[in-house]
Structure 1
Amino acid sequence: MRAMLIKNYGKDSEFELSDVATPDVKPGHVLVQVAASSVNTVDTMIRNMGKDLPLSPDTPAILGMDFAGTVEAVGEGVDAYSVGDEVYGCAGGLADLPGALADHMVADANLIAHKPKNLSMKEAAALPLVAITAYEGLMRAGITQGQKVLVHGGSGGVGHVAIQLAKHFGADVYSTGGGDQQIALIEKLGATGINYKTETVQDYVVKHTGGAGFDLVFDSVGGANLTNSFEAAALNANIATTVSLCELDLTPAHFKGLSLHVVFMLIPMLHNHKREEHAEILRQLAQISEAGALTPVLDEEQFQLEDAGKAYARLESGKGMGKVVIEN
């Protein structure tokens, strides 16, 4: 089969189109013919940082975590899938799990679900990592109907899904963005846009909550921005973040009695820990999508498998809007 191999890590490393053996299906897994995969920030981090990240696979490596495709073979003990089923998931591209930048991949049946019927392969491939992250964060933060929810980074991969899911769960959603294009997308998705470059946290908290603060803050920017989340949160509020690789003064969180939830959705893949929960989330996401409440935004640039390097560069450029997807 064709595969885009990376033989060395580093910012100047290149993907090489190679001919490799098609993997054999194994118990508890399915062999998938990959139709499309999407690029996430963690994929670019692996390519650039290599073994400085403990989750990077040994080289030569096939990267790519997210995929959508068709089941070609079913391993022993798998009853939920049959040959010909269209599936999607986040199931490889790190540690000892070969990824999706190839014609075929072997995926743990506990890390996939049937593809949403209303989405194309490209659209379905854009969802798994970001949508599982958004879903898990909102659930752990206890989202309920009628809450005022603030999403930081609402035009990004995780953020644009978090907006849609929060709306689906009945919240009154607000979201920050850094320019007219970002705000336009945020408002198209049904949230009230906040330009963080022209409005202070104090200003928009007063404007939208009467000074009380937001009941739930989903921070997909994280890092130093967590201090803005603390400031924007109501007393005893919940904050979910996807980026907490930082040192931070938690004093403001203490005096507000805030609960902080750190979401690292790769844990089931890395540690084989409760992988079936990812399958269940993907099934829930498929139902939400089929109900018309979740549609991924795709970047306008088109990429084929042999363009993997260009697709990674597109995401890293910061010029894209929506998920960067690679078609096989």
Structure 2
Amino acid sequence: MKAIALREYGSADDLRLIDVPDPKVGPAEVLIRVKAAAINPVDWKLATGGLDAVMEVRFPLVPGWDVAGVVEQVGFDAGEFAVGDEVFGYIRKDWVQQGAYAELVSANVRMLAKKPRALDWAQAAGVPLAGQTAYRSLKRVGVGAGDTVLIHAAAGGVGSFGTQIAVALGARVIGTASERNHDYLRSLGAEPVAYGDGLADRLRAVGGIDAAVDFVGGDAADVSLEFVSPDRVASIANAEVESKGGHYVWVRPDGDELADLARLADDGKLTVHVDRALPLAEAAEAWRLSQSGRTRGKIVLTV
């Protein structure tokens, strides 16, 4: 099969479209014919060796943890799905090598859910990692109906999911973002607040805040702790929040959470803005766009 791969740690310039063996399909796994694979910053950070201390990486490395596609083969003890099922998933395995930037990928059934009918292939591929990260963060701090939740970087890749999910849970959302993204946040149901110097003063004018999730890092968690009890503050970008009584969130594959997100999408409460959809062979350009930080929404490879 064709796949985008790296022969060793490197950058976008080192990505190559090559032939690799078709994946084996193990117990409790299915083989997926990839329709779309989303780009996440962790893809290119991992490829540079940035996660070498905590993750086993093998070469040639095919990146990509977000996939949407059609089940082509079912392994034994994988009766949750059948050939022809349309699925999506966050397919992070115990080691990193056989990812979603390929024509085929195998995945454990616990990582997958049925694709939302309301989303096309590119949109569906954009949900799993960012959507589950947002969902798990909000669950960790117990966001529910009637809460006021502060979401830092609410217009970003993870934050836009967090905003929609929190609104669907019945919460009031205060979202930090640059001025140019305020109308976008309003369209998602949030009340925008400009980030940067003076943020704490602007938040005091908001009123009571019950919970906060940090999707950007920097001093966002510390600002949140001025307003929110530590046990209701979570961050995906600042591990030091744990030493202050908060939660550091690292998402794990979870098909049940994905199914919850699929239901939100099919109920019209969750959508995905795809900024660019590029063919598989243009993965290097997709990485450069992601690294530029100038896109809104997801960048997706179509296969």
Q: Provide the TM-score with structure 2 as the length reference.
A: 0.94
Decide which of 201, 207, 228 is 2:205's aligned counterpart.
207
Unaligned runs of 5+ in 1: 254-258, 269-277
Find the residue that maps to 2:205 and give its secondary structure.
Answer: helix
The correspondence of residues 274-289 of structure 1 with structure 2, limited to 5 A, is: 278-289=254-265
Give the direction of change, closer, same or farther, for the CA distance of 1:192–1:237 in structure 2 (3 Å limit).
Answer: farther
Seen in structure 2, the aligned counterparts of structure 1 residues 94 and 125 have a Cα distance that, compared at 3 Å, is: farther
Superposed, which structure 2 residues align to 1:114-193 within 5 Å? 114-180=114-180, 182-193=181-192
How far off is 1:92 after superposition? 3.7
CA distance in 2, matches of 1:34, 1:125: 10
> Do structure 1's residue 263 and structure 2's residue 249 form an aligned pair?
yes
**How many Å apart are 1:93 and its aligned residue?**
7.2
Contact 1:63 1:92 survives alignment (8 Å): no
The answer to whether structure 1 residue 228 and structure 2 residue 223 are counterparts is yes
Paired AA for residue 310 in structure 1: E
Shift of 1:293: 0.5
Amino acid at match of 1:204: R
Distance 1:92 1:280 in 2: 15
CA contact (8 A) 1:134 1:158 kept: yes
CA contact (8 A) 1:93 1:100 kept: no
From the superposition, tell whether residues 79 and 94 of structure 1 become closer, same or farther in structure 2 (CA, over 3 Å).
closer
Change in CA separation of 1:94 and 1:123 when aligned onto 2, cut-off 3 Å: farther
Name the count of aligned residue pairs: 303
Q: Deviations over 1:117-170 (max 9, x none)?
A: 111010000000011111111111111211111100011111000000000000
Shift of 1:96: 4.1
Is the CA contact (8 Å cut-off) linking 1:115 and 1:286 kept in structure 2?
Answer: yes
| Contact 1:215/1:237 (<8 A) preserved | no
Task: Look up the SS of the partner of 1:106 in the other structure.
Answer: strand
Aligned to 1:274: none
* Contact 1:46–1:56 under 8 Å retained in 2: no
Partner of 1:2: 2
TM-aligned CA deviation for residue 8 of structure 1 = 2.0
Is the 2:241–2:248 Cα contact (8 Å) retained in structure 1? no
In structure 2, relative to structure 1, the CA distance for the partners of 1:94 and 1:78 (3 Å cut) is closer
Shift of 1:248: 6.9
* TM-score, normalised relative to structure 1: 0.87
Is contact 2:39–2:286 with CA below 8 Å preserved after alignment?
yes
Aligned-residue sequence identity (percent) comes to 33
Per the alignment, residue 37 of structure 2 pairs with 37
Q: 1:78–1:11: structure 2 CA closer, same or farther, 3 Å change rule?
A: closer
Indicate how the Cα distance of structure 1 residues 235 and 72 shifts in structure 2: closer, same or farther if over 3 A, else same: closer
- Distance across 1 between alignment mates of 2:105 and 2:143: 35
- Matching residue's letter, 1:7: R
* Residues 158 and 56 of structure 1: CA distance in aligned 2, closer, same or farther (over 3 Å): farther
Tell me if the contact between 2:167 and 2:173 (Cα under 8 Å) persists in the aligned partners.
yes
1:93 to 1:63, Cα distance in 2 relative to 1, 3 A: farther
Deviation string, structure 1 residues 205-235 (Cα, Å, up to 9, x no partner): 22210xxx4101011012432212212x235
Counterparts of 1:293 and 1:248, CA distance in 2: 30
Partner of 1:275: none
**Once the 2 structures are TM-superposed, how far is the Cα of residue 49 of structure 1 from its aligned partner?**
2.6
Q: Is the 8 Å Cα contact of residues 68 and 89 (structure 2) preserved in structure 1?
A: yes
> CA 1:327 to 1:110, structure 2 compared with 1: closer, same or farther past 3 Å?
same
Give, as a single letter, the amino acid of the residue that structure 2 aligns with 1:303.
L
- Does the alignment pair 1:290 with 2:266? yes
